[in-house]
Structure 1
Amino acid sequence: MSGRPEILFPLFSDLTSLPGVGDKIATSFGALKVTKPRDLIFTLPHSVVDRRVVPTVQGQPALKTVTVQVTVLQHVPSRTRGKPYRVIVKDAQTTIELIYFHSRGEYLDKLLPVGEQRLISGKLEVFDHRAQMVHPDYVLGPDEHSDLPSFEAVYPLTAGITPKVMVKAVAGALDRVVALPEWIEPSVFRDRNWPDFATALQQAHAPQSPNDISAHAPARERLAYDEFLAHQLTKAIARSQARVKTGRATVGDGQLQSKVMAQLPYRPTGAQARAIEEIGADMASPRRMNRLLQGDVGAGKTLVGFMALLQAVEAGGQGVLMAPTEILARQHLEGLRPLAHSSGVRLEMLTGRDKTGERRQKLADLASGEINILVGTHAVFQKGVEFCDLRLSIIDEQHRFGVNQRLALGEKGTKVDVLVMTATPIPRSLELAQYGDMDVSVLNEKPPGRKPIITAAVPLARLSDVITKLKAAIASGRQAYWVCPLVEESEFMDLTAAEERFKVLCAALGDAHVGLVHGQLPPIEKDAAMAAFVAGKTQVLVATTVIEVGVDVPNATIMVIERAENFGLAQLHQLRGRVGRGKAASTCLLIYQPPLTQSGERRMGILRDTEDGFRIAEEDLKMRGAGNVIGTAQSGLPQFKVADLETQTSLMAIAHQDARMLLQNDPGLTSPRGKATRTLLWLMEQDIAITLISVG
């Protein structure tokens, strides 16, 4: 794909080429992430001021912006320092005082000559029943009325950028937009009744009413769709390139898999069977697998992953399973050991803490192929870790690993298949935004024998009742988690809260029965506290949210979450999923501090109503927004300038379909519409896609 089309050059030139923008202003624009004219055309107004002329300010609400024709009656200069200068004017029905601070009399005499008419526009205030306007935004003579728009766009600003500078610069940038060939699929374009790209920009920057600012205004919707389409095209191109990337056909004979299936106390769910089949087919094909396996808490992802690892071993290769923390890696190891044993497969774990001699031996066995399956943390990425024939890498809890780490693992073998597992159900729109380049398998059924978890909300005042019930439960041999409040200020405060609660519970239940884990503990102590709880040596584990992901203690049947109103929905759902893993009925107690906010009440209600993680994820998205649901900092979620992932989810789905269809029919983007979408990719700075297409 040769360089950027010439038609776009003016939009990618220097900001200083725009009217009114010198070096200093260009530097100030940097704070708004604006470095070229192209960035300005996508910096849309966030609100609109109605500057239509009214006959009088009488009856207008205070603090509203009003525009009115007035006659100047008199000037009242300030007698004392620091007092304002007043100009009395009159509209059709009443007088208005214009208030000026630190203004020179001669300047105001020129601006507002007594006896003449002026058009004034500004915020109306009422003081002592008198209408006032402090420093009007506009004072225009009879021949300047046309300078005032009926509706004025309000832009995001920053130090050094005034509204005037912004409006002038945006107008200059818009002048550089020419008619571009249409890249939107004709039927979508017609059904939606959208304007063309250049018209959409003009309309979005010149709102005629508050409705024109909404995400559903045709001009804005069209521009949002352009962003989604460019994004989804990039994902689809990456995906089709990944598919062209020849992988290796990893075909198993099913012997190891059937040995393990025979050992299982239950049959896999329909969803598990389907996922095993989809992954198996991907591995057996000559293309490289790039698949996401998302399942709700406790939907049985580990079994699905293990079946895929066995297929790699059956084909004469090796597999690796990566977890974000050592506790989880160890848990995978313990959980899979009996299954590996029954199928005669050698399974080992590699962490950063292996002793030198032991580590050397493991690395030698890995390189010679004697170790079939390796479980580990990111220590697996390190230099010196060589596989004999790595066929499959599975990454557990995706959002802890970046794309670069996925790639690094893929390079440990030739043409390695990649499977990413996540226990965080992701709403469809975010899944497309984040993983649009991956195929997806979903586990949405609970394995048999899982009992529902009873969820109840308890006010903080009843804490002592909760501790009394806990005492009885422990006496009958059960175990419990006690999750401490999230304290916004700092980890140190979180720690203090956890230590306080630990002391109270030790006093009530006896020191020997209670353990404590938190983020500040050295890893060895953290593991020891977890191990004691897993082994049943301690009955109550007091914890900060470090236990959120993956810890599995079937005998733990009570989850207490203190100050539950401070946690997000998805986080509460993940924490609750730590219980209900054994045969006994389980309970989750949400302890809250009344009065609850409206959203706090709604969160508690949703958790009481459902255990369906996918429904919870959709609700969470509605309540908190996309960035918070995944945690934008490490989410890899795209940053859109116009589009809004929360309110425009349906557009993302259409863009996803459209991008796939287009590439299916025109893989090289050489048709007229294909060429138009190349222009879109350049315009939206999707350089990755551009490079891939020119390589492909």
Structure 2
Amino acid sequence: MAEARGRPEILFPLFAELEGLDGIGPKTAKNYKGLGIETPKDLLLTLPVGGINRTRRATINGADLPATLTVEVVVGPHRKPALKGRPYRVHVADAETSFDLVFFHARGDYLDRLLPTGARRVISGKVELFDGIAQMVHPDHVVPPAEAESIPAFEPVYPLTSGVTQKGIVKAVASALPRAPYLGEWIDLPLLKSKKWPAWPEALEAAHHPESERDFSRAHPARERLAYDELLAHQVTLGLARAKVRRAKGFVSKGDGALAAKVLESLPYSPTGAQTRAIAEITADMGAETRMNRLLQGDVGAGKTLVALMAMLNAVEAGGQAVMMAPTSILAAQHLAGLKPLTDAAGVVIEMLTGRDKGGERRAKLKALKAGDISILVGTHAVFQDDVAFADLRLAVVDEQHRFGVRERVRLGSKGQGADVLVMTATPIPRTLSLATYGDMDISVLDEKPPGRKPIATALVSSGRMGEVVQHLADAVAEGRQAYWVCPLVEESEAVDMTAAEDRFKALRASLGEGVVGLVHGQMPPAEKDAAMADFIAGRTRVLVATTVIEVGVDVPNASIMVIEQAENFGLAQLHQLRGRVGRGQAASTCLLMYRAPLGETAARRLQVLRETEDGFRIAEEDLAIRGAGDLIGTAQSGLPRFRVADLESQTGLMEIAQRDARALLAHDPDLMGARGQSVRVLLWLMEQEKAIRLISVG
């Protein structure tokens, strides 16, 4: 079978060189790369972004100018420019009125041939008024009446790049369309019928030949179908990756709930409904024979740590061990401090391992871990080192997904062959993006706040009022309160961020006094950073000046003021994370968003949303609407797919259907060997999902 060795033969014409298409030579082919177009397939999936109505009319009279118009004219006299650089004019008359065609840098002999005086021509182009007189500058089309049919009544407009013209792309698309044969049907037939979607070649044909503005809607059957093809290929790829994880045998970890019950008894509150639901989902996964691969997603302060602890205790009750990974040693120490009173209540041994552990102390911990004397280990990347061995690792909890790649998740899993994996993220992810990015994982969502979390008052303050803010801070410090001061984000440059932070630190120290203000930024040696954080956590410093290194997980209940300088430069999700650092103690908390006036429209909308709500999921949806998907989680680091037709912001529903469809298909035909499965294989090759193809071939 040709496909086992590589791309199926039926797709060869779609993946050939662009130079085989009309009007594309080696030089133009290079220009097309500016649009990300390297093959006829790429060209066919680059759809028009708009259209121009070129319906014929008798006269330009009565038209609302400026407008693109198509009329038949009689060519009148040519007025050649007297001076170099002046325009060349050709006077023409339609059925009711006369006007000028204007050309710059034109050759008279060429225009004499194109527009001979006395001849009839059909012309189409933009007509505008210049000093009260109508003119058409550089008509788009000039043809004899016999060839008027060559001007489309509705002409598609494509995205362009340097060296690629509208006429060129239209010509190339026309010669590429015959290369798109019927490839079998990979869409579920009842779905295809209910949506009234055309077959793949017809969908391409319709999308490239729009007949009106309505044809550009994402809901148009041809466009919707082409979007669904991309989403389906993507979800099948994620589904195959998920199936591979699930095929991996896991441990059956079924606890008796005794340790968990002791912890719950020691708590001054009851878990929320969302926490109880997440715990049940995780426990069920851990009790199954396949490996768990679950994402626990919850807003700042939604109580993820308690859920993770219950999962870890389930592993311990079942006779195994658990590990919790944090991205920094500060966060690991915080997790330990938060968990230890609870594990003590249950009589469970918990320890911490970071890169700071050296010599005899480290050896003793490793020995206890290997012997099974440590039930729960909290640590950083240090737990990846080769000499770290567990007696029976059942569960790995990874905090803050985006700081760990998939590679680390795999390495962690290999510490305990078949260990269940629970990933925690405090970044609420809009439904579409979680489907696109974590579609290979099962997802538990914490969408309730535990009782007792106080609302945070959020205010916008112009940077012109800096003096008032510093005074407010001085008063708060005098009352024994603590504050964060987050410095501007400067052009993604850590060196410049550092300078801004150091300058602000010096200014605040001068106002508030020596020993009151601490400083942390990304360029500091880890030991210095830890010392500055430790001083703030212990209350030795009252104000912590920081770059965004404090965005994730830092927990200082006494800190009740958050000042964010130049808040307009931050993304919504990031501002929400930063604000979530306060409001953790008994004191009423405030977040001051300082901005430089005047605020742009988008920045104003962002800051307004933050003022109106503390719901991280609503904020994430707004962020997606404002910034777009790629920007939201940084496409490069997120592995977010780049689609040519599908749109993650507006086609959530379609993505959900694709996920359900892909999962149902793979449950029924895991190796894609059935009739529809074979067509889906062609789709995977068409959409260049090599990862999926490797998974089936090794599967």
Distance 2:490 2:8 in 1: 52
**Which one of 58, 76, 92 corresponds to residue 79 of structure 2?**
76
* Structure 1 segment 12-31 matched on structure 2, within 5 A: 12-31=15-34
1:467-482 → structure 2 map (5 Å cutoff): 467-482=470-485
1:200 matched residue in structure 2: 203
Change (3 A) 1:688 1:488: closer
C-alpha displacement of 1:481: 1.4
Percent identity among equivalent residues? 63
Please tell me whether residue 563 in structure 1 is matched to residue 560 in structure 2: no
Is 1:170 aligned to residue 173 of structure 2? yes
For 1:122 and 1:351, the matched residues in 2 are separated by 69
Question: Given the alignment, which residue of 39, 47, 51 partners 2:50?
Answer: 47
Say whether residues 1:67 and 2:70 are aligned partners.
yes
Conservation of the 8 A alpha-carbon contact between 2:355 and 2:382: yes
Q: What per-residue deviation string (whole Å, max 9, x for no partner) do you get for residues 593-637 of structure 1?
A: 444444444434433332221222222222222222222221121
CA contact (8 A) 2:602 2:626 kept: yes
Output the CA distance in 2 between the equivalents of 1:642 and 1:243.
31
Q: CA deviation at 1:121?
A: 2.1
What is the count of residue pairs matched by the alignment? 696
The CA deviation string for residues 644-671 of structure 1, in whole angstroms up to 9 with x for no partner, is 0111111111222222233334444444
Letter paired with 1:129: G
Matched residue, 1:680: 683
In the alignment, which residue of structure 2 is the partner of 1:617?
Answer: 620
Q: Answer yes or no: is 1:503 the counterpart of 2:506.
A: yes
Evaluate the alpha carbon distance shift between residue 103 and residue 593 of structure 1 in structure 2; reply closer, same or farther with a 3 A threshold.
closer
Which range moved further: 561-570 or 492-501? 492-501
**What is the match of residue 241 of structure 2?**
238
Q: Secondary structure at the match of 1:224?
A: helix
SS in 2 for 1:8: helix
Structure 1 vs Structure 2 CA RMSD: 2.5
Aligned with 1:511: secondary structure? Answer: coil
- Alignment partner for residue 263 of structure 2, among 238, 260, 263? 260
Q: For the residues of structure 2 that align with 1:63 and 1:522, how far apart are their CA atoms? A: 62
Look up the match of 1:532: 535
- 1:479-498 equivalences under 5 Å are 479-488=482-491, 490-498=493-501
For the structure 1 residues 170 and 360, does the alpha-carbon distance in structure 2 shift closer, same or farther, using more than 3 Å as the test? farther
Question: Counterparts of 1:331 and 1:597 in 2: how far apart (Å)?
Answer: 38
Tell me the CA shift for residue 211 of structure 1: 2.2
Work out whether 1:608 is the aligned partner of 2:640. Answer: no
Is residue 217 of structure 1 aligned with residue 215 of structure 2?
no
Match of 2:449 in 1: 446
Q: Provide, for residues 550-573 of structure 1, a one-character-per-residue CA deviation record: whole Å limited to 9, x for no partner.
A: 100011112222333333222222
1:523 aligned to 2:526? yes
Q: For residue 392 of structure 1, what is the amino acid of its counterpart?
A: L
For 1:657, the equivalent position in structure 2 comes to 660
Provide the C-alpha distance between the structure 2 equivalents of 1:586 and 1:639, rounded to a whole number of angstroms.
40
**3-state DSSP class of the match of 2:205?**
helix
SS at match of 1:121: strand
Which of these residues, 121, 134, 138, is aligned with residue 135 of structure 1? 138
Task: Name the SS for the 1:175 alignment partner.
Answer: helix
What are the Cα deviations for residues 493-524 of structure 1, in whole angstroms up to 9, with x where unaligned? Answer: 43344334333322332222111222222222
Shift of 1:369: 4.1
**Deviates most, 208-217 or 480-489:** 480-489
Alpha-carbon contact 2:72-2:145 (below 8 Å) kept = no
Which residue of 1 is the match for residue 324 of structure 2? 321
Which of 638, 643, 647 is the aligned partner of 1:640? 643
1:536, distance to aligned residue in structure 2 (A): 0.4
1:329-377 CA deviation, whole Å, 9 max, x = no partner?
Answer: 2322332233344444443333344445554554454445444333333
Q: How far off its partner does 1:477 sit?
A: 1.8
Q: One-letter code of the match for 1:311? A: N
Shift of the alpha carbon at 1:240?
Answer: 2.6
Deviation string 1:417-454 (CA, Å, 9 cap, x unpaired) is: 11110001111111111111111111122223222222
Partner SS state of residue 278, structure 2: helix
**Amino acid aligned to 1:403:** V
Amino acid at match of 1:404: R
**Mean alpha-carbon deviation: is it higher for 542-551 or for 486-495?**
486-495
1:431 to 425, 429, 434: 434
What is the CA–CA distance in structure 2 between the aligned matches of 1:381 and 1:55, rounded to whole Å? 77
| Range 425-434 or range 617-626, more displaced | 617-626
Aligned counterpart, 2:10: 7
Match of 1:690 among 690, 693, 697: 693
TM score, norm. by length of structure 2 = 0.93
* 2:98 is the alignment partner of 1:95: yes
Q: TM-score, normalised by structure 1?
A: 0.93
SS in 1 for 2:515: helix
Residue 226 (structure 1) aligned to one of 224, 229, 234: 229
- Report the CA distance between 1:383 and its aligned residue: 4.2
Higher mean C-alpha deviation, range 429-438 or range 207-216? 207-216
